[in-house]
């Protein structure tokens, strides 16, 4: 899930928003302002309902962020690299660059999320009771009570033992500990996730078709996401089993052709496709030889013809901060998620601050094909 708007860093973790987060803000605001608040406490102005509903929706996002931050902080303490957190329509996701090293680490990383939501729910329940005792507006107490309830619901729902929910991670940690096989454990947790997803889809659409309740679309949507995410986790687990022990240096293209950042677009195009630049993507080097970014033919093609003699590669390249990178000895299975979410489906391989290779999804697919073919039993 790529972020649309970066919010900065919290506790050293990059935090961003996906544009779809506006959907959940709008839904929560409309639900509270148009239903729960006026039904429970009539007599207030529409402006008061709307303003408090919007603040409540934003506080709900903050609680989702706290849940994901807990995952990220504990993951880093257990030696797992964290790429960042993105909030989106169906909640939040902490993007981990590497897998948990042990079942115990997986247990800690997964368990802290529901625990955080449960603690928030309990604290907000206490706050609602305290505000009510102080005689604060019943409408404000209602908003705090709703936040308390939704956090408790999140804690319970996330604890369900089905991937990709936190409970599915807990189930995976347990099965991993029992069997010693992380791939088999992931496969079982993913199967539970797909079963839960189909249950939610069927019951959600049944509520719409037989009871005319359009709110059933929401659990159906969540269920569909669970099915897709659980299937993806199972696929990654299978790939992890095939790619186990394989290092980036074994699949990368060594010593790739590079382009100087100071070269003009016109000079670059003059060398391809039959000259020095025969590929579609190239690492870009600064004058001192350090990696500066990645340029692709697609990026170059966006430059108008009349501007190409004066436009440099540095003006059009994707900067290094936006390019997936890896080290030669990094496991391929850890790089794969970053490759799949990168804009160019490529990663630069860096060693001691120098470009030593480039990896594409095609390189990984080729390795998987060979490994599968050489290990598959003959009929």
Q: What is the DSSP string of 40-61?
A: HSTTS-HHHHHHHHHHHHHHHH
CA atoms within 13 Å, Cβ hemisphere of 83: 23
Q: What is the DSSP string of 310-373?
A: T-BHHHHSEEGGGSEEE-TTSBHHHHHHHHHHSSSSEEEEEETTEEEEEEEHHHHHHHHHHHHH
Catalytic residue check, 232? no
CB 188 within 8 A of CB 173: no
Where do runs of H (alpha helix) occur along 78-102?
Answer: none
CB 237 within 8 A of CB 288: no
Q: Which residue has the tokens 């022990």?
A: 245
C-beta atoms surrounding 95 within 10 Å:
21
Query: What is the four-CA torsion angle of 230, 231, 236, 240, rounded to 10 degrees?
Result: 90
Structure tokens at 117: 């939501």
Q: How far is residue 122's CA from residue 209's CA, in Å, rounded to a whole number?
A: 37
Q: How far is residue 313's CA from residue 299's CA, in Å, rounded to a whole number?
A: 10
Q: How far is residue 4's CA from residue 90's CA, in Å, rounded to a whole number?
A: 15
Q: Which of 3, 68, 233, 330 is catalytic?
A: 68
CB 159 within 8 A of CB 48: no
Query: What is the four-CA torsion angle of 77, 83, 88, 90, rounded to 10 degrees?
Result: -50
CB 33 within 8 A of CB 50: yes
Catalytic residues, by residue number, are 68
């Amino acid at each position: 899930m790529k972020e649309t708007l970066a919010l900065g860093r919290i506790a050293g973790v990059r935090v961003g928003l996906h544009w779809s987060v506006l959907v959940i803000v709008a839904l929560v605001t409309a639900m509270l302002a148009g239903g729960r608040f006026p039904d429970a406490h009539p007599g207030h102005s529409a402006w008061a309902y709307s303003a408090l509903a919007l603040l409540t929706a934003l506080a709900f996002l903050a609680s989702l962020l706290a849940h994901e931050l807990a995952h990220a902080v504990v993951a880093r303490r257990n030696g797992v690299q964290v790429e960042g957190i993105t909030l989106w329509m169906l909640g939040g996701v902490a993007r981990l660059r590497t897998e948990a090293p042990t079942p115990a680490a997986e247990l800690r990383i997964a368990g802290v999320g529901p625990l955080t939501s449960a603690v928030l729910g309990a604290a907000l329940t206490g706050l609602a009771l305290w505000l009510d005792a102080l005689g604060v507006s019943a409408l404000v107490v209602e908003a705090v009570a709703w936040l308390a309830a939704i956090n408790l619901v999140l804690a319970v729902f996330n604890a369900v033992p089905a991937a990709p929910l936190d409970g599915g991670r807990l189930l995976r940690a347990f099965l991993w500990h029992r069997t010693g096989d992380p791939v088999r454990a992931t496969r079982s947790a993913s199967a539970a996730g797909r079963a839960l997803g189909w249950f939610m889809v069927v019951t959600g659409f049944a509520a719409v078709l037989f009871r005319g309740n359009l709110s059933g679309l929401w659990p159906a949507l969540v269920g569909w996401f669970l099915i897709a995410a659980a299937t993806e986790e199972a696929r990654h687990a299978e790939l992890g089993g095939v790619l186990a022990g394989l290092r980036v240096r074994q699949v990368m293209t060594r010593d790739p052709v590079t382009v100087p950042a100071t070269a003009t677009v016109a000079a670059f195009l003059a060398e391809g496709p039959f000259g020095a630049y025969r590929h579609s993507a190239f690492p870009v080097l600064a004058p001192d030889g350090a990696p500066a970014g990645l340029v692709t033919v697609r990026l170059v093609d966006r430059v108008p013809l009349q501007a190409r003699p004066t436009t440099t590669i540095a003006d059009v390249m994707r900067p290094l901060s936006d390019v997936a990178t890896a080290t030669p000895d990094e496991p391929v299975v850890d790089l794969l998620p970053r490759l799949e979410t990168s804009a160019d489906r490529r990663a630069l391989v860096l060693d001691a601050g120098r470009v030593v290779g480039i990896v594409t999804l095609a390189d990984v697919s080729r390795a998987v094909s060979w490994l599968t073919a050489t290990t598959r039993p003959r009929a």
